[in-house]
Amino acid sequence: MAELSTESWMAVLFFIVLLIWGTAIFLFGRITIKHLEQEMLKEGIGLPAWDKGIGARMVAYAGVIAWPNLKRHASLVNIEATKRFSRSKDKKLAWFYIISSVSIFTLGLFIYYLYIHKS
């Protein structure tokens, strides 16, 4: 049986972390953001009209849910409504999304500087 090289192990690890990150994005978007925006619509709170399809509000929602007591001068989403409507499973999904995002970007940079970057 052929042994995998370090580069091959990194590719496998990157693919696994990429699948986890994709799962986190899917679950956070379909469960948390859908719930928050439905509850906001019930109360007549307008949704962010500027974010149609680019997904920037995912990061804003995750930040507000994960760190609810952080002082913010401005936010891309309604902070008070997000705090009011978030549930405990939303906090878990927000942390899952944040940790997987940091993991994929850190691993990507590590792989880039280790194997791709040539000075």
In a domain, 22, yes or no: yes
In a domain, 5, yes or no: no
Give the residue, 87 or 74, on which the prediction is more confident: 87
In a domain, 110, yes or no: yes
Residue-level pLDDT at 1: 55
Q: What is the pLDDT of residues 79-88, one digit of tens each?
A: 999 999 999 9
Q: What is the mean pLDDT of residues 69-87?
A: 89
Number of structural domains (the chain) is 1
**Do residues 35 and 85 touch, judged by C-beta distance below 8 A?**
yes
Count of other CB atoms within 10 angstroms of residue 52? 8
In a domain, 51, yes or no: no
Q: What is the mean pLDDT of residues 8-30?
A: 95
State which residues form the domain around 34. Answer: 11-45+56-116
